[in-house]
Structure 1
């Protein structure tokens, strides 16, 4: 089969609303809020039209079919069978906490292995649970060299849960030997949760031999371009865990029965469901998934585009004599979808660049530049050079 070449002009034209909203603006925020393609605007109108047409029946007539189709497509893009179980929530925090609530109470000191390089939602929640007695083992995420070995060493018999990112949020470091780590943890009977937010749709992952036994969470705000309010949890087949943090969507079948007895759960991903949510996120997701398919932008193709673009950014820093500022790996296999550079003035530089129409972001002293498929090389160069100039002035 002959692979068709990406029509870059047509792809860019498909983002007319976001790219044309502020003339001259450069969106190096592909790792955070990717631009929405124009088809999303029509999708949001369909959400209103369906509500007007079906009223309360919109759930069965329109929303639930979209959720099923969206879930199958997401699983496929994550490298799982489309028929696997999946649960949705408004945030990865909601879903991670629902899974954590399946463990023995914190006072029983369940042992949870994680790293100190996790995103704030998981890091903060585990710190709070540790205050209540949970035995949280914080594996140092730095230096990045040896991280996999340190996680493996921390996985000892009696570990109740492993919760780690596939790609670290500060510098886009792709955690090596992930499959081996997950196999070690599951062989000990630990519940395995992988935060794949900074991997979904930009870094295809090898889940290894434990693939069928792991939980994976991610969301739509970043590289998926679905927007906010739609996150998910891939659930292993045969899961019988009973979340304490549960909602009425977790078992619709119980609504018609008598109250009392043990709390029951629905099949598959339903057991991790919450309660009533804003369904418009699924209209956005459906439209964007069709957009990716229309342009043939599989995760593998998006990965190739990302590698080329991040290499271009690193090359500009090298040419400007600031190569030592680059914190993201120069090995493309270990670098995710953005480039992080070091500057103590990261937050103030971000603010100044925003006034110039150059959008980047920062986490502590990590200034992050996130390209995206719809950006031209000229925009990437211009935005990167503006960051370089701002860093030089801040010296």
Structure 2
């Protein structure tokens, strides 16, 4: 099978990842949906982070980090399809950002979500429901009718809807995201889209009045600690979970007397800010984005590569008679392929022992390529996965 992206040179791109790929020589990295390789430029960026700290000491925030955050934020927003000056808040993880948004709502707010959301959201909403948050759990399966179920649940009354644009179990791209958004508008509800499994690999139908959260740990090669919340320009929410970075610009002014005036919030994305964070991830992020740009890897280009790679995986699994849980329609499949496997976690461990890196969720074995993964590596990795799946279910 030949690649459907003939103008792209995988070999040339691999030269930018010598450290990571050299350390994994002989291995097949099909965890592109979880942890992609970092480019060599990211190692150099970490040295710049150290140098800026040495040069500016505690002034590094205003002299280096905040300008860096602005540059990285603009590029992230552009890759999501938003205006580059939209409000964006950085956080170490999506959990803290989602929690701050939740903290801006009444404690008994009505939240509509699905049973297929990421683990931190599922856990946090379940815990808050114990204290009065009214959560409507929309079944995540069957997938084809999920949009209809979400629209019906939101239309029945909601203050906030939380929904994935791409679901972590099977890479399913939610159809009719704008229908869900329309239902939220009619109900007077906010809409938060978890775009983590879409960011930098599968464009989503995102509108200006949506809250969008994601991070760079998966398909953007940023590494840990670079997650973000994009908020609408009109947002005036007042999160109860708030730290000093939410109004950093007022530090030099006298403190307001407690209880006499409302707590103030900074402009734009600062509204959802927390407190001091490790800025090294932002340095890696700028470096990774620079590598993408230097190879012409905008989101449409990355999407074309991803579709070709996942089609290759699906075709091989189909030929072997392995049940594919991800959609066969590329329009409904994002950056990885899920296959049914009895004892999927054990299968993943056996594959790791063979030098093939995948992961599992429930009975789904997840295989995620990346732009630097070769067709030969995909074929070897999938062949090994087929052998282990068959061995687990003789």
Same fold (TM over 0.5): yes
Maintained 8 Å contact 2:171/2:326: yes
Name the SS for the 1:204 alignment partner. Answer: coil
| Corresponding residue of 1:346 | 344
| Corresponding residue of 2:390 | 392
| Corresponding residue of 1:380 | 378
Structure-to-structure mapping, 1:39-50, within 5 angstroms: 39-50=41-52
> C-alpha separation between the residues in 1 aligned to 2:275 and 2:170?
35
| Corresponding residue of 1:136 | 135
Q: Give 1:59 deviation, angstroms.
A: 1.1
Q: Would the alpha carbon gap of residues 157 and 392 (structure 1) be closer, same or farther in structure 2, given more than 3 Å must change?
A: closer
Q: Give 1:12 deviation, angstroms.
A: 1.1
Maintained 8 Å contact 1:170/1:340: yes
Kindly indicate whether residue 254 of structure 2 is the aligned counterpart of residue 257 of structure 1: yes
TM-score (normalizing by structure 1): 0.95
Name the SS for the 1:127 alignment partner. Answer: helix
The gaps in structure 2 that reach 5 residues or longer are none
Aligned positions, number? 385
Structure-to-structure mapping, 1:1-395, within 5 angstroms: 5-105=7-107, 109-156=108-155, 158-207=157-206, 211-255=207-251, 256-260=253-257, 261-322=261-322, 325-395=323-393
> C-alpha separation between the residues in 1 aligned to 2:321 and 2:208?
46
> C-alpha separation between the residues in 1 aligned to 2:10 and 2:268?
40
Maintained 8 Å contact 1:199/1:205: yes
Q: Give 1:173 deviation, angstroms.
A: 0.5
The gaps in structure 1 that reach 5 residues or longer are none
> C-alpha separation between the residues in 1 aligned to 2:391 and 2:312?
22
RMSD after superposition: 1.3
Q: Deviations over 1:43-94 (max 9, x none)?
A: 0111111111111111111111110000000000000010111001000000
Q: Give 1:9 deviation, angstroms.
A: 1.7
Q: Give 1:4 deviation, angstroms.
A: 11
Maintained 8 Å contact 1:175/1:334: yes
Q: Deviations over 1:336-395 (max 9, x none)?
A: 100001112111111111111110001111110000000100000000100000011111
Q: Give 1:6 deviation, angstroms.
A: 2.7
Structure 1 runs, 4 residues or longer, greater than 4 Å off = none
Q: Deviations over 1:300-334 (max 9, x none)?
A: 11111111100100111112222xx1100000000
TM-score (normalizing by structure 2): 0.96
Maintained 8 Å contact 2:90/2:226: yes
Q: Give 1:157 deviation, angstroms.
A: 5.3
Name the SS for the 1:213 alignment partner. Answer: coil
Maintained 8 Å contact 1:235/1:269: yes
Q: Would the alpha carbon gap of residues 4 and 355 (structure 1) be closer, same or farther in structure 2, given more than 3 Å must change?
A: closer
